[in-house]
């Protein structure tokens, strides 16, 4: 057997040990494929997988998201470079 085929066969065998895809994965993929989905749809899909929800809650909030959510005040119109 040539070494490339043996290496490929070993890699394929290792795939058996991958953890299963979380049950929430199809729901999350559907939400992100839907251009009309809102943040509540993302929240419901992510909530199906507690581990993922916990990891995402540790991420810092990007400033633009914080402004849109009302956590940070937006700049007054006079200080905006675009008018």
Range of the domain at 54: 19-68
- Tally of domains within the chain: 1
On whether residue 52 sits in a domain, the answer given is yes
Q: pLDDT tens digits, residue range 38-79? A: 888 888 888 888 887 777 776 666 666 666 666 655 555 555
Cβ atoms of 46 and 56 closer than 8 Å? yes
On whether residue 24 sits in a domain, the answer given is yes
Task: Quote the pTM value.
Answer: 0.45
Q: Provide the 10 A C-beta neighbour count for residue 36.
A: 5
On whether residue 13 sits in a domain, the answer given is no
- The CA distance from 59 to 63, in Å, is 12
Q: pLDDT tens digits, residue range 17-32? A: 877 777 788 888 898 8
């Amino acid at each position: 057997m040539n070494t490339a085929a043996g290496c490929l066969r070993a890699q394929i065998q290792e795939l058996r040990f991958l953890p299963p895809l979380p049950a929430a994965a199809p729901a999350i993929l559907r939400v992100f494929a839907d251009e009309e989905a809102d943040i509540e749809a993302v929240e419901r899909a992510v909530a199906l997988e507690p581990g993922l929800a916990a990891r995402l809650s540790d991420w810092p909030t990007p400033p633009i998201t914080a402004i849109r959510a009302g956590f940070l005040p937006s700049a007054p119109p006079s200080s905006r470079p675009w008018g």
